[in-house]
Structure 1
């Protein structure tokens, strides 16, 4: 395993210096799943939720979160994202919503944290909007699916 980059030689936290890194095209995809009662999913997909369009609100929250990742996660760089995509879809099990995100830029550091933050905040927003009708929802399986670009190249989660 390689050395942790956010620690200096004394073991103290630091922001990684990316000054000398090349600008490259970078992309990351992430996902999260929100598990819920089938009735809750039907309400969301049918547009019958009393708070309005749950999916649109969660999508906007995910996009906003990606743009604010550096404010939320210590030591993250402020990035000039060129694209953020958040897709929410009902799961095949009839009792979940799968959230998939993609973040892109041309820059000196990766966008994995932005994709993960977008997926997690979209999931939390969905939970917040629906907790009055289903307190038993579970946010599950937040994970990085793929990253491209930079020195470490292309990585894909097993099964992707």
Structure 2
């Protein structure tokens, strides 16, 4: 038996996992990431030439979570009940945390991770003109839970 759920055991071809027989459950996933930047850049994120980077990044992260199945080819489209994206500025940059929830047959970790990644890319895009040394790192899944409906 293959450890890779997206690989057909017989043919070795990639495939979308059949979750039709699985029971629905309440699922939640939390992911985190960071955009490292100069302190002077972090202090200016709400008043950049392109606008408020933190607000735009929050909206971009939420939108990205909702469109994850369009971005990641083998992800199932999910009816998300909530997506939260929080951005916290500190001396080293911006810490990003995203949580996604659904009641479905498959998990929402890809949606949480996608929200963090796109929020980070948005911060980067909005601040790149003033900080050429920024970097995105530490994008990780922190937790995922599943509870019966």
TM-score, normalised relative to structure 1: 0.88
CA distance in 1, matches of 2:71, 2:43: 33
Match of 2:123 among 119, 122, 126: 126
Unpaired segments of 5 or more residues in structure 1?
152-160
1:5 partnered with 2:2: no
Matched, 1:38 2:35: no
Alpha-carbon distance in 1 for matches of 2:87, 2:43: 14
Distance 1:34 1:75 in 2: 27
Q: 1:142 aligns with which of 132, 139, 144?
A: 139
Whether 2:15 is the aligned partner of 1:14: answer: yes
Shift of 1:150: 6.5
Contact 1:58–1:123 (Cα < 8 Å) also in 2: yes
Match of 1:103 among 78, 100, 116: 100
| C-alpha separation in 2, matches of 1:3 and 1:56 | 40
Structure 2 CA distance for aligned equivalents of residues 62 and 145 of structure 1: 17
Greater per-residue strand proportion: 2
Residue aligned with 2:133, SS: coil
Root-mean-square deviation (CA), in Å?
Answer: 1.5
Deviations, residues 82-128 of structure 1 (Å, cap 9, x unaligned) = 0000000013xx12100000000100000000000000000000000
Report the alpha carbon displacement of residue 3 of structure 1 after superposing the two structures with TM: 1.5
| Equivalent residue runs for 1:41-52 within 5 Å | 41-44=42-45, 47-52=46-51
* Uncovered stretches (5+) of structure 2, i.e. residues with no partner: none
